[in-house]
Amino acid sequence: MTGEIFMQQLANGISLGSLYALLAIGYTMVYGILRLINFAHGDIFMFSIITFNIPWFIAIIIIIIATVTLGVLVEKAAYRPLRNAPRMSIMISAIGASFLLENLATYLFTGVPRGFPDIKVLTSTVKLGSLSLTVATLITPFVTLVLLYLVLFITNKTKIGMAMRAVSKDFETAKLMGININQVISITFIIGSFLAAIGAVLWGSRYPSVMPLMGVMPGLKCFIAAVLGGIGNTTGAVLGGFILGMAEIMLITFLPAFTGYRDAMAFVILIVVLLVKPTGLLGEKVTDKV
Amino acid sequence: MMDKLRNKNNKLFLNILLIIIFASIIILLDTKKIGDAYIRRILNLSAIYAIVSVSMNLVNGFTGLFSLGQAGFMAIGAYTVAIFTVPLAARAKIFYITPQNPVLAQIELPFVIALILGGLLAALVALLIGLPVLRLKSDYLAIATLGFSEIIRIVFTNIKSITNGALGIKNIPTMPTMWVFFGIAIISIGFMWLLINSSYGRAFKAIREDEVAAEAMGINLFKHKVMSFSIGAFFAGIGGGLLATLFATVDPNQFYFPVTYNFLLIIVLGGMGSISGTIIASFVVTSGLEILRFFDEPLSMFGVNIPLFRPGLRMVIFSILLMVLVLFFRNGLLGQKELSWKLIFDLLSGKKSRKRTGEGGAAQ
């Protein structure tokens, strides 16, 4: 292992980690407010990559709008009608929505992997000393940090952010205080899907093979990242994403024999976290009310 | 009084009649008097799906644990049957890239023993997984079990000397009669029915209704959860083993986790907490999925190609169905009730004993 390869992999790890972080924010925000795993989040992410097939500068804008619409649509169609239903029904609905998006994508775009359009600005390589990195790898961490700052600004400094925090603390009381719950939830989905769309563009430049089931694994992993960081905590989600991405790349670097197990590792991390520190790294302790 | 008695005799008579009809249909099919290989295959598959779905309902519907690990446990059962029942002579040809583990390469077991071993291994893995995972709350449990089901699949893809990796194992001996599938289905479901109606079953239901209250009543939550989870895994393993012999081949992709969603649809349609509903739904969904295959074929009407029909439409309809069910007919066919003659008579005479919200599901 030369220092050079290590540095290269370190950069890869940070970049992959920040991609995970972008998706994990979406999970953590929805979970914080609805106490629901948005199973469809990974598939919303997939949809924005797979539909990306027109000149990129127009596409990015259209994709962001379309993804946000899709996210809000899923919430309206699959989650809102069941707001007072038993938990299991809501989860089944979430799984159903995810499954529907996957099948719809298979139907519309076939299961055959497609290429992601080559966005020259993102895929060109930059030499940093002896390292050669693509622009996408290089800018992803910065994009993530800027977006994290934005999300933190929205949740902590704006009125709608205050409403979000109130809803996440106590759903019923927030409702009684006159907060428009549905609006807050819609905005949460808008933010989550917006980040997923940005993540999708960066992801596509990095892994240009696109297919309908591609959102599943990143989706599950990012949920795990959110749990690792402490579910409901935005900074924690980003931290969890970084750790997970880094752990994955390091597994490949140092134990190449175990490359086949890279997807399994995330779940092992999940189990360990849930057993050792169920609230995650930055999560608050929540007590169950009877 | 007289009326009641006659009614009771009637029901007994109807039950016997039903069993005779059922048995003769299977015998006729089995002796190839009616039907064809395709129909027999669908029915066998339905019987297998019924076992796995009831096992999933035991965990999800009766104990209230949202577990999504069924595909993984099926994989364990399927691979056990595959590894141990393929004739020794055929092994070298199957494991032509990575030779089979030398110990395993010498062992061949009869089907029934391999099947039970598969179930036991699935239960053992469930026990090991359950010890940490069952302490989790509902949605974490769902993700963790889903994750484990994936881990099992990933491990099976990677341990090539045992499972032959992504190539899978072919030439698994098939069964000559449908009674293998239906017999095992009847025994398995019968066992689970007895379990659910025992004191253990009542404890499961108590846990489903309210964990805290159940604990206060002296029910050992963890013990019962692990028990339900392991027994569910055992029968999923049995179902997987039967699937291996039905298809004569296994490979890791058969157990990709969306497979579990099939069973989820079945138990939602049949009713979370209804065994008879689950059995009916297994047959409806399995044959429905086959019938819906025409959606995947190009369709032309009056010489015009209807562009909507192309591969993938079937699964879109399938997933929309799942959504519609859970959004509008949350109780499925039977909710938590069991099918009985009283229910059928009430339904036929238009008498409604209670408000039934789940009836619309029958339209499927």
A210-238: average pLDDT: 87
Using the predicted structure, report yes or no on whether residue A53 has a pLDDT greater than 80: no
Give kind and range of the element (H or E) at residue A133.
Answer: strand A131-134
Q: Report the alpha-carbon distance of residue B278 to residue B63 in Å, rounded.
A: 15
Using the predicted structure, report yes or no on whether residue A1 has a pLDDT greater than 70: no
| Listed range (A85-89, A244-248, A281-285, B51-55) with the worst mean pLDDT | A281-285
Give pLDDT tens digits for B243-271.
Answer: 999 999 999 988 988 888 889 889 988 88
Q: Report the alpha-carbon distance of residue A255 to residue B1 in Å, rounded.
A: 78
Give pLDDT tens digits for B173-205.
Answer: 888 888 889 999 999 999 999 999 999 999 999
The highest-confidence range among A199-203, A258-262, B93-97, B330-334, by mean pLDDT, is A199-203
How many contacts (CB atoms, under 8 Å) link A and B?
116
Using pLDDT thresholds of 50, 70 and 90, give the confidence band for residue B300: low
CATH no. of A3-276: 1.10.3470
Q: Is the pTM of this model over 0.90?
A: no
Pick A107's closest partner by Cβ from B66, B140, B313: B313
pLDDT: is A136 or B231 the higher one? B231
Q: Report the alpha-carbon distance of residue B119 to residue A155 in Å, rounded.
A: 50
A198-227: average pLDDT: 85
Q: What percent of chain B has pLDDT over 90?
A: 34
- Is the minimum CB–CB distance between A126 and chain B shorter than 8 Å? no
Residues of chain A contacting B155 with CB distance shorter than 8 Å: 261, 264
Angstrom distances, CA of residue A55 to CA of A116, A119, A120, A122, B219: 11, 9, 11, 14, 63
Residues of chain B contacting A81 with CB distance shorter than 8 Å: 327
- Is the minimum CB–CB distance between B146 and chain A shorter than 8 Å? yes
A51-56: long-range contacts, CB 8 A cutoff, minimum separation 24? A52/A116, A52/A117, A52/A200, A52/A201, A52/A204, A52/A210, A53/A114, A53/A117, A56/A117, A56/A119
> Do the interacting molecules here have an ipTM over 0.85?
no
Pick B147's closest partner by Cβ from A35, A220, A278: A220
Residues of chain A contacting B143 with CB distance shorter than 8 Å: 37, 220, 223-224, 227, 270
- Is the minimum CB–CB distance between A74 and chain B shorter than 8 Å? no
Using the predicted structure, report yes or no on whether residue B350 has a pLDDT greater than 60: yes
Domain residue spans of chain A: 3-276
Which structural domains are found in chain B, ordered by start? 37-299+306-363 (1.10.3470)
Using the predicted structure, report yes or no on whether residue B236 has a pLDDT greater than 90: yes
Q: What is the mean pLDDT of chain B?
A: 84
